[in-house]
A and B are shown apart, each in its own frame.
Chain A
Amino acid sequence: GENVEQHPSTLSVQEGDSAVIKCTYSDSASNYFPWYKQELGKRPQLIIDIRSNVGEKKDQRIAVTLNKTAKHFSLHITETQPEDSAVYFCAAFPNDYKLSFGAGTTVTVRA
């Protein structure tokens, strides 16, 4: 099955700086890579996703890059704000109805 590794497990950044979270996956058949954000006490929610036919996707301050050859993908948050503090999960979808999630990264934005 698919195995997704996520780093770092915790990340503390100064407000206004950038944050980068990296994930690797094992199954070359995976073709869909979403990122979920889970604020404290709330449910995970999709913030951005990318498909295997695209190398980069951007939505305002967040962007995701995908390197299929190396089997890794990354989330970039620019100009971080306190409301970006949350746990972020990457996931890979090997086209069998299942998402395999990474262990999560706890991001803390310091004011």
Chain B
Amino acid sequence: ETGVTQTPRHLVMGMTNKKSLKCEQHLGHNAMYWYKQSAKKPLELMFVYNFKEQTENNSVPSRFSPECPNSSHLFLHLHTLQPEDSALYLCASSHLALPSYEQYFGPGTRLTVT
């Protein structure tokens, strides 16, 4: 369907679990992003990777740990999460050049922390 895929699509985890979210883009983009989408709130940017280097960390708690091994793959490692971390986690990618900075989103991972 699109060039950005995410797995798993749904995840239920306990507060003591460790899990990882995976994102993959096949668009040849050079920037990748993690967003958190909670009900009634703006999309919250968590991490930005530009040419595999992390350029932004918006004061995200250390229980979220990103990894970008190459420009096509992005992971979000989760450890000892809290119930308030339950949300839709969206990955996006873009090509940081004109004429468009359009971000292409993946389908998201619906995370529930019990």
| Partner-B contacts on A (CB < 8 A) | 4, 6, 9, 32, 34, 42-46, 49, 89, 93, 97-104
How far apart are the CA atoms of A56 and B102 in the complex, in Å?
18
B12-20, B42-50, B62-70, B71-79: which lies at the interface = B42-50
How far apart are the CA atoms of A108 and B56 in the complex, in Å?
35
How far apart are the CA atoms of A107 and B20 in the complex, in Å?
34
Q: Which of A89, A97, A101 contacts B48 (CB 8 A)?
A: A97
Instruction: Name which residue of chain A comes closest to B43, CB basis.
Output: A101
**Can you pick out 30 interface pairs between chain A and chain B where the beta carbons lie within 8 Å of each other?**
A4-B42, A9-B40, A32-B101, A34-B102, A42-B107, A43-B2, A43-B108, A44-B90, A44-B105, A45-B105, A46-B103, A49-B100, A49-B102, A89-B43, A97-B48, A97-B50, A97-B55, A97-B56, A98-B45, A98-B48, A99-B45, A99-B103, A100-B45, A101-B42, A101-B43, A102-B42, A103-B41, A103-B42, A104-B42, A104-B43
* Inter-chain contacts of A93 with B (CB < 8 A): 101
How far apart are the CA atoms of A101 and B103 in the complex, in Å?
12
| Partner-A contacts on B (CB < 8 A) | 2, 31, 40-43, 45, 48, 50, 55-56, 90, 96, 100-103, 105-108
Q: By DSSP majority rule, is chain B's interface helix, strand, loop, or mixed?
A: loop
* Inter-chain contacts of A97 with B (CB < 8 A): 31, 48, 50, 55-56, 96
* Inter-chain contacts of A98 with B (CB < 8 A): 45, 48, 56
* Inter-chain contacts of B40 with A (CB < 8 A): 9, 103
